[in-house]
Amino acid sequence: MPKLSRFSVAKLAKVFGGLSTRLKSTGGRPSAPLGSRFLTNPDDIFKHNMWDHVQWTEEEKQNARQRAEENSSVQIPLNEQGAKSKVINMYQGDQQAEISPPTASSMDTKTRHHQHSGSTHHRKNTSDGRMSSEGASLENNEAAIQTSAFPGQNSSYRIFEVGCGVGNSVFPIVNSIKETDAFLYCCDFSPRAIQLVKDHPDYDDSVCHAFVHDICEEMASFPFPAQSLDVILAVFVLSSIHPERMQGVVNRLSTYLKDGGIFLFRDYGRYDFSQLRFKKGRCLSENFYTRGDGTCVYFFTKEEVHNLFSKAGLEEIQNLEDRRLQVNRGRKVVMHRVWMQSKYRKSHPASPS
Ligand SMILES: C[S@@+](CC[C@H](N)C(=O)[O-])C[C@H]1O[C@@H](n2cnc3c(N)ncnc32)[C@H](O)[C@@H]1O
């Protein structure tokens, strides 16, 4: 049997063409942050499809703010929001969960009992949504990792992609972790998406476990114990969750990271082209919109991303705004794109002095 090589977050970063060099950092700064094609001569604009590190002029910033104010000046009334944002039919034929704000009862999560592999974990959140030290310490699950059977149990490096869709990230990872000691979990709340992942010729259940799971569902269990993951990956998924639910989702997911585990996040940034092109009448709440197909999208600022992960007890390693100019050379159209790319770590507990 061939000796398995070790997998690491640096190797995982390499798997993503897009995320690759950007997630490696030197001295806290990415070595080649977010691409290196600079537009220095405005006459060259239509020579490429994408330009990196685009600085916005004051006028462009002002126009973007104004456009967002205009398209969110009418918000869909709360009692109509369910109907407008209900059918999340990205993958045809799915009956999917409604994206809605938490109800009073679902917000009442001060103490939750969570079933997993026959054991019960108790989780406590503080009133501002941060995990209490009691919640964190109660998740110390080394014993469960050793005693109960779960997929990927024998791997020493576990990666979990939430909202994996049809596997755009799953298959590059699967193909790179074969012959290593790593294991990948991936979930989506769409049964159709998960079926497509499982039916893919590269799906290999010796290194991957795909399952249907709604990350907003507080009582649903995961097929691995708390504190068992090295990396959690969320790519364009948190933006589709109601902003009032996001903190709870990130808090919950973070309890599954090992100490030192990493949360990788990529999503839409504030005033991205796709936010500014919304027409009036699609806004659900500030910077949160519903598309024609019923899916929802939130547009993050750096500060919001920082607060979201810090309140979950994670330490910032990287929090970047990836600002690019996307060019449609055929139609001579130029679009300002803004994406967030962030990396947070669950800190090792302070060592006793
Ligand atoms: C924009 S797609 C991104 C898919 C994939 N991450 C990618 O980058 O190609 C968002 C995905 O998140 C899934 N999703 C949205 N809300 C979810 C939830 N509450 N629980 C699990 N998956 C969810 C959707 O079904 C969809 O597949």
The CATH code of the domain that includes 124 is 3.40.50.150
Cα 335–341–345 angle (5° rounding)? 175
**Quick check: 268 pLDDT over 80?**
yes
Residue 39: φ, ψ to 5°: -90, 105
Nearest CA to ligand 1 atom 26: 165
Give the separation between CA 55 and CA 336, rounded to whole angstroms.
Answer: 10
Q: Is residue 227 part of a domain?
A: yes
Tell how far the Cα of 165 is from the centroid of ligand 1, in angstroms: 5
Tell me which of 157 and 4 has the higher pLDDT. 157
Give residues with Cβ within 8 angstroms of 115, minimum separation 6: 219, 221
pLDDT in tens, 215-229: 999 999 999 999 999
Q: Is residue 352 part of a domain?
A: no
* Mutation to probe ligand 1, out of 237, 253, 298 (largest number of atoms < 8 A from CB): 237
**pTM across the whole model:** 0.81
**Quick check: 318 pLDDT over 80?**
yes
* Short-list 150, 146, 162, 142, CA closest to 116: 150
| CA torsion angle 205 209 212 216 (round to 10) | -170
Q: Is residue 351 part of a domain?
A: no
**Quick check: 196 pLDDT over 50?**
yes
Domain span at residue 319 reads 9-346
Question: Which of 276-312 are b and which e, b meaning 16 or more Cβ less than 10 Å from the residue's Cβ?
Answer: bebeeebbbbebbbbbeebbbbbbbeeebbeebbebb
Give the separation between CA 277 and CA 89, rounded to whole angstroms.
Answer: 21
Q: Is residue 18 part of a domain?
A: yes
Q: Is residue 1 part of a domain?
A: no
Q: Is residue 328 part of a domain?
A: yes
Classify residue 244 by its DSSP letter: H
8 pLDDT band, cuts 50/70/90, is confident
Helices (H) and strands (E) in the chain, counts: 12, 15
Q: Which two tokens stand for residue 191?
A: 């049964």
35 pLDDT band, cuts 50/70/90, is confident
Percent of the chain clearing pLDDT 90 (strictly above): 59
Q: Please tell me the least confidently modeled range out of 112-126, 146-160, 234-248, 332-346.
A: 112-126
Closest atom of ligand 1 to 214 CA is 20
- In DSSP terms, 296 is beta-bridged to 290
Q: Is residue 2 part of a domain?
A: no
**Pocket (CB within 6 angstroms of ligand 1):** 90, 163-165, 168-169, 188-190, 193, 214-216, 235-237, 240-241
SS3 content of the chain, % helix, strand, coil (to 5): 30, 30, 45
195 pLDDT band, cuts 50/70/90, is very high
Give the separation between CA 182 and CA 265, rounded to whole angstroms.
Answer: 20
Give the separation between CA 75 and CA 69, rounded to whole angstroms.
Answer: 11
Tell how far the Cα of 168 is from the centroid of ligand 1, in angstroms: 11
Give residues with Cβ within 8 angstroms of 247, minimum separation 6: 129, 308, 311, 312
Tell how far the Cα of 116 is from the centroid of ligand 1, in angstroms: 23
Give the separation between CA 317 and CA 80, rounded to whole angstroms.
Answer: 40
Tell how far the Cα of 312 is from the centroid of ligand 1, in angstroms: 21
- For 48, 192, 213, 241, the CA distances from 119, given in Å and listed in that order, are 55, 30, 19, 28
Tell how far the Cα of 234 is from the centroid of ligand 1, in angstroms: 9
Cβ-count burial of 63 within 10 angstroms (0-12 exposed, 13-18 middle, 19+ buried)? Answer: middle
Tell how far the Cα of 188 is from the centroid of ligand 1, in angstroms: 6
Mean pLDDT of 46-54: 87
Q: Is residue 17 part of a domain?
A: yes
Q: Which residue has the tokens 């409604």?
A: 98
61 pLDDT band, cuts 50/70/90, is very high
Give the separation between CA 209 and CA 215, rounded to whole angstroms.
Answer: 16
- How many domains does one find in the chain? 1
